[in-house]
A and B are shown apart, each in its own frame.
Chain A
Amino acid sequence: MTHHVRWGDQVDRIPDRPTTATAPLDDLRHTPLGRIPIARARTVALSDTRTTDRPSRLDVAAFGSSI
């Protein structure tokens, strides 16, 4: 079964249950630690860390409520 979501002039068909797909970065989970290429690890690790030419991501999100 599918339902339709409208945005703009487009109508897209969205399956209720997404098709099973391999999660991103699969190679990093299934290659033994000692065999993961350093360059590949650094490229992925870099997005987690500070760089001089790109502001870092928002790290902490805090919530305060009187509930």
Chain B
Amino acid sequence: MSPETVAAAAGRIAEHAVAHRLDAVRVVLHGGEPLLAGAAGLAGVAAELRRQLDPVTRLDLRMQSNGVLLTEEIAEVLVDHGVAVGISLDGDRAANDRHRRYANGASSHTQVLRALALLRRPEYRPAYAGLLCTVDLANDPVRVYRALLAEDPPHIDFLLPHANWERPPPRPPGVPTPYAHWLLAVHRQWTADGRPVPIRLLDSLLATATGGVSGTEAVGLAAADLAVIETDGSYEQVDSLKSAFDGAPATGLDVLTHPIDEVAAHPMIAVRQAGLAGLCATCRSCPVVRQCGGGLFAHRYRPGHGFDNPSVYCTDLVRLISAMSAGDDAGDRPVTRPATIPAPRRPPADGPPEPSGPSGGPPEPGRAAAASPRPGPSRATAPPEPGRPAAASPRPGDSLAPAILDDLGSGYGGDDAVGQLAAIHLAKTRALLVALSPAAATSSVAAAGWDLLVDLDVTAPDAVREVLAHPFVRRWAHRCHDRPALADLGRLAAVAAAAAIRAGATADLAVPVRDGVLDLPTVGALVVPDADRPAAVSVSAGGVRVRAGDTDVTVRPGDTAVTARPDGAGHPAGWRPVRRVPGRAPVLIEDTDPYRDCYQDLPVAPRLSGPDAARWQRHLDAAIRRIDAEAGEYAPGVGAVLRAVVPLRPDRGGRQRSAAAATAFGAVAVTPAPDDAALAVLLVHEVQHLKLDGVLDVCDLVDRGDPRRVRVPWREDPRPVEGVLHGTYAHLAVADVWRRRPGAAAGAHHRRYRDWTAGALDTLLDLGALTPAGERFARRMRATVDTW
């Protein structure tokens, strides 16, 4: 597409967004193969779209690709310009090779997997939109589903093959609804796995069954809201119509001459905006029409009748929808029970009987109050007496003492209080690991890692503690529990190897290589390209020897140098030792951990260059010193809680951004800050969030059964009560930091954050959504604000 056509197309879309006050517009670059445009070409298109659309609407910019030509350079462009790419993948190698070969017949599967490995890297993950799979009856549905799941996609979508009444889809003799059968097999396994990843077609059918909205044009009654702009600037209807007859998608309109409203008025698009009324008589009287919507428009075509027909997949759609709705999708196989963690390999001799796994276990005692129906905790309930736990707890000692809660409620928190939060984090991580250990027994790599970790916990507890306190060890363990079907249990071996290295122990074990990188938490990462199996790792006094594929290197943790084997093999440039903030030994600059991309829409930076890392080290050191000097009440929190700083990519809008995640306790993610003064504010803000996360780990402050959303001055969207409490606690500290700085600008900042905090506290205290402990906590915050 020429730059002029791109500019004209962007202009038309922007014009349409303004005229119709659209909150969001999705633009999908698709093919042919958009990667053929190369990094510069894609950058040019994306930049022009963003230039014209970002000021007027939220641009959701996507691309559909086979991934074969994806490079690091292109991945950088995609992340920089906020482009998310969907990759076409039909399953494992055999499945994918049926329809996706090069012209010379060679398989493209290896290249596609290489592209997916690139997109899974934390620094490129924001560019990974998901996988698009075309159903082929020749492929086993569960194998296909498993192959897709193994690529850890954010989303999966299944497409039915192009077909219409003139060219019906192939159906094996005697099987009336083979496509329904195929998709129901996927649905069964997906349900049994606890739906670990959204599947657009199935999610849409589930959503429309309860009156929700479909997320795909393939099903549902939502108005068609997409048009195609060809490379010459002509508008077309959706691509799939090409399968109906030659020229079917043509509209005779183009971006240079016609606004998008004229495309929307085109009779063939207008009929697809009429919902039920736009369907044929058979569909209109169909009992599942609200879910099916007549299927994909292109699948309705019949020569002589146009598109005024049911889908050629009608019988499959009826069967699929009916079976899913009735929970009667067992077909010829029993429905599998939800995945649970298998029985322990080595049950502790003194342990009580086990409950069922994470999805079937009992509610956590002490959290029961959170599920109470509205109205929430009674305002008439007396505050807990000093000396009593703030929340009901399964055991004495599972909650913070009132004095500690009060100390933290003031917004500050002395050494004892913040030290307890770090201790809670360590206990939680240990609990997560122990709860994972039975499942680890099913993998020899994970089991060996667990056994080593158990031994080291006795012989070298300090080393184990150092590694388990790392924020992203908990994040990883949390994700294993959250999505058991995708649990990366092999990382237990990496955790154990890291502990062995820190302990100075001797150990040999296999450690998985993930997307070309062997990562050892708190130690460093080794790039191991082309390793297709776990690396053999030998830890000894001489260093850490890693053998995998063509790699055979010995690294000495702490050294930046790498000793290559005498035979010259190895990748001396591949060792990425962990970097620390000088003088603040526990604080890592975390730019290698594979689980660090946990900050929603905030993309993490790739491994920093040496000069960039040095700049971060200087800034962080200065910022922490500044906190010590100017806001000493927050210094204990930073000292006890902050264990890692994750560099984020600069914000496209130029804002300072920072984030913290409860499941990565101890880590703060932050964009490059202009100076240490700005960085100090961001650190204090995020450490406040972490402090509150630590409190909420063991104390219920908010009635989580309360569905209300509350408007706050610092966000456009109404927030859940816990979100308001979080924002208030963080802004209290930000207001306090500005209060202590000289100058009119600082004063203005202080007043703004103080007013936000005071207003939100009034709201929280009036709302009736806090538990007694939460109310007590909020009143302590109020007392601090009142002293200013």
Contact = CB atoms under 8 A, between A and B. Distances in A.
Interface of A: 5-8, 10, 12, 14-15, 17-29, 32-55, 57-67
A53 B428 contact: no
A25 B432 CA distance: 13
18 contacts: A12-B386, A18-B416, A19-B403, A23-B423, A37-B352, A38-B348, A38-B354, A43-B361, A44-B364, A44-B431, A45-B431, A48-B481, A48-B663, A54-B363, A59-B663, A63-B657, A67-B681, A67-B749
Interface stretch (B102-110, B323-331, B776-784): B776-784
**Taking each of A34, A36, A41, A64, which has the highest tally of chain B beta carbons within 10 Å of its own beta carbon?**
A41
B357 A34 contact: no
Given A25-B698, A38-B348, A65 B682 contact: yes
A25 B431 contact: yes
Contacts of A48: 428, 431-432, 474, 478, 481, 663, 697
B420 interface: yes
B722 A57 contact: yes
Given A44-B428, A57-B696, A51 B363 contact: yes
Interface stretch (B151-159, B215-223, B451-459, B556-564): B451-459
Interface in B680-699: 681-682, 685-686, 689, 696-698
Nearest to A20: B416
A47 B425 CA distance: 12
A33 B453 contact: yes
Query: 8 tightest A-B contacts by CB?
Result: A37-B351, A25-B427, A41-B434, A23-B423, A18-B403, A44-B431, A23-B420, A28-B427
B455 to A, nearest CB: 8
A46 B174 CA distance: 47
A33 to B, nearest CB: 4
B599 interface: yes
A7 B779 contact: yes
Interface string B592-605: 00000011101000
Nearest to B357: A42
A29 B430 contact: yes
Contact of A38 (B435, B474, B661, B689): B435
Given A42-B361, A63-B657, A63-B686, A24 B348 contact: no
B533 to A, nearest CB: 27
Mostly, the A contact residues are mixed
A43 B364 contact: yes
A51 B360 CA distance: 8
B92 to A, nearest CB: 28
Interface of B: 344, 346-348, 350-355, 357-359, 361-365, 367, 370-371, 383, 386, 394-395, 397-401, 403-404, 406-407, 414, 416-417, 419-420, 423-424, 426-428, 430-435, 437-438, 453-454, 457-458, 464, 474, 478, 481-482, 598-600, 602, 651, 655-663, 678, 681-682, 685-686, 689, 696-698, 704, 720, 722-723, 726-727, 730, 749, 776, 779-780, 783
A10 B361 contact: no
B401 A18 contact: yes
B783 A5 contact: yes
Contacts of B365: 43
A6 B730 CA distance: 23
Contacts of A36: 348, 351, 430-431, 434
A61 B689 contact: yes
A17 B412 CA distance: 12
A41 B730 CA distance: 31
B656 A53 contact: no
B388 to A, nearest CB: 13
A39 B354 contact: yes
Contacts of A5: 406, 779-780, 783
Contacts of B678: 67
Contact of A58 (B355, B437, B723, B730): B723
Nearest to A13: B386
A60 B660 contact: yes
Given A20-B416, A33-B453, A58-B726, A49 B656 contact: no
A4 B393 CA distance: 28
A38 B437 contact: yes
Contacts of A20: 416
Contacts of B367: 47, 54
Contact of B401 (A21, A58, A59): A21
Given A18-B404, A60-B599, A50 B662 contact: no
B398 A24 contact: yes
A61 B383 contact: no
Contacts of A55: 704
B434 A26 contact: no
B192 to A, nearest CB: 14
B207 to A, nearest CB: 17
Contacts of B398: 24-25, 44
A53 B658 contact: no
Contact of B660 (A28, A34, A61): A61
B417 A18 contact: yes
A37 B454 CA distance: 13
B55 to A, nearest CB: 17
Contacts of B776: 7
Nearest to B389: A24
Contacts of A40: 351-352, 431
A17 B403 CA distance: 9
Contacts of B353: 39
**Taking each of A24, A26, A28, A37, which has the highest tally of chain B beta carbons within 10 Å of its own beta carbon?**
A24
Nearest to A35: B348
Nearest to A49: B481
**Taking each of B359, B426, B427, which has the highest tally of chain A beta carbons within 10 Å of its own beta carbon?**
B427
Nearest to B600: A60
**Taking each of A12, A17, A47, A66, which has the highest tally of chain B beta carbons within 10 Å of its own beta carbon?**
A47
Contacts of B359: 51-52
B661 A60 contact: yes
A15 B720 CA distance: 33
A54 to B, nearest CB: 6
Contacts of B351: 36-40
A33 B430 contact: yes
Contacts of A44: 364, 398, 427-428, 431
Contacts of B424: 23-25
Contacts of B482: 49-50
A8 B383 CA distance: 10
**Taking each of B344, B481, B602, which has the highest tally of chain A beta carbons within 10 Å of its own beta carbon?**
B481
A64 to B, nearest CB: 5
Contacts of A66: 655-656
A21 B403 contact: yes
B414 A24 contact: no
Contact of B454 (A21, A34, A46, A61): A34
**Taking each of A5, A23, A37, which has the highest tally of chain B beta carbons within 10 Å of its own beta carbon?**
A23
B403 A14 contact: yes
Contacts of A58: 662, 720, 722-723, 726
Contacts of A47: 364, 367, 697
B371 A62 contact: no
Nearest to B358: A49
B350 A35 contact: yes
Given A7-B383, A38-B347, A62 B602 contact: yes
A19 to B, nearest CB: 6
B350 A45 contact: no
A46 to B, nearest CB: 5
B420 A24 contact: yes
Contacts of A65: 655-656, 681-682
Given A10-B383, A25-B428, A54-B363, 15 more contacts: A7-B779, A14-B406, A23-B420, A23-B424, A24-B398, A29-B423, A39-B353, A40-B431, A41-B432, A42-B435, A43-B362, A44-B428, A45-B432, A54-B367, A58-B722
